[in-house]
Amino acid sequence: MSSGEFRLEEALQVVLITYNRERALRHTLGRLFAPDSPVRGCGITVLDNASDDGTRRTALGFAAEHPNLKVVTHPRNIGGNANIVRAFESASREYLWVLCDDDDFDWSRWRPVGGALASGEYDMVYTVNALNRPSETPDAGYLAFLAAFVPGCIYRASLIDGDVLQNMYAMIHTWYPQCVPALHALCNLGRPYFLPPANVVLRRLLTDDGVREMTMAENDATLTRGMGAAMRHPDLTRMFWHVGFARAAQIVADEKKRALVIEGARFNESWSADFLDYCEYVYEYNRDHRGGSARNLADFMFDLPRNRRFPFAMIVLRPYLPLYLEVRRGRVELVVLRKLKLRLWDRRWFGGKGGR
């Protein structure tokens, strides 16, 4: 389709996933159909995950006023991540944009995104350029981090083929099936992408009543809402963001690119220099919030780049060792009784710079 023939209403398909978020959904739909919304005339579908509050009633109320809105209610709750994959599976137009039920938008920033879509030059058109920490030189890791935010990227539908969908379904338990098409396009295929100058989508991590921001525990629980604890697989209970993303990143075929993705993502933490500080955070979070799950530690360690596995093992084992090696910021130190440090090697001794 040439730029002269491009019509956003025909080219862009918007799919919104929801479950028991009546108040948040009403706000998001109101923003999608606002007078200044560029997507108000596009085909919009709500995938309701068998809500038992007023969510379906709210969605149908909007559909009665907007014929281009379709409401699909699953007969059973298939889980938040499975609903994400179902949204990607429904791709039928040139571009697909998957949204969550608690999103907000700054439509005054849409013009560059709309221009990128109209150009037909890009297979991935981001709707955000920064989440918590900006990057002046975004690499594959940072781009994958942005794509982990479900509405953070609009995809050319042809990217979502059978192989991608099968891998997305396989990654449901990691919390990051939505990363599969981005990682495949960026790292395996090298497809072109567009990064906007400012965020169009605004994160709204609020409680269901919209009164306050979610705690970390409440945010973690959103992906298993409505699921009985007695039937919850251990993988769903133990998993958390950082381990899950490292698992999903295994879709990247090239080992060096995979290492770049895992080391560059780091999620919402503002790590300015040392990757092993991040690994230490993962270890401590697993200890404090996931009961010290040995499977999480094993998954994360073996999903790390090979040269990072031994240092991470030292982080895990050091509480039990009288002495150990610590490798970080371009130096190697022998640590005795967790207090005395003897520097064995430093990159700066040879004119290098400290860092990761």
How many domains, the chain? 2
Question: Of 153, 181, 202, which one is at a domain's C-terminal end?
Answer: 202
Residues 166 and 253 in one domain: no
The whole-model pTM stands at 0.87
Domain assignment present for residue 337? The answer is no
Res. 224: pLDDT tops 80: no
* Partner residues linked to 153 by β-bridges: 126
Residues 158 and 300 in one domain: no
Please tell me the predicted confidence (pLDDT) of residue 356: 47
Domain assignment present for residue 231? The answer is no
Residues 294 and 189 in one domain: no
236 Cβ partners below 8 Å, 6+ apart?
A: 173, 223, 224, 227
Q: Give me 179's structure tokens.
A: 């990363």
The domain that contains 111 carries what CATH number?
Answer: 3.90.550.10
Write the pLDDT tens digit of every residue in 6-15: 999 999 999 9
From the list 75, 114, 64, 83, the residue with the least C-alpha distance to 16 is 83
Please tell me the predicted confidence (pLDDT) of residue 267: 66
Residues 293 and 145 in one domain: no
Please tell me the predicted confidence (pLDDT) of residue 277: 82
Q: How confident is the model at residue 328 (pLDDT cuts 50, 70, 90)?
A: low
Domain assignment present for residue 260? The answer is yes
Residues 185 and 250 in one domain: no
Domain hosting 275: range is 240-316
Residues 100 and 155 in one domain: yes
Domain assignment present for residue 43? The answer is yes
| Residue 348 vs residue 240, higher pLDDT | 240
| Residue 320 vs residue 247, higher pLDDT | 247
Write the pLDDT tens digit of every residue in 141-176: 889 889 999 999 999 999 999 999 999 999 999 989
Q: How confident is the model at residue 271 (pLDDT cuts 50, 70, 90)?
A: low
In the three-class reduction of DSSP (H, G, I as helix; E, B as strand; rest coil), residue 17 is classed as strand
Q: Give me 283's structure tokens.
A: 């270890």
Residues 143 and 91 in one domain: yes
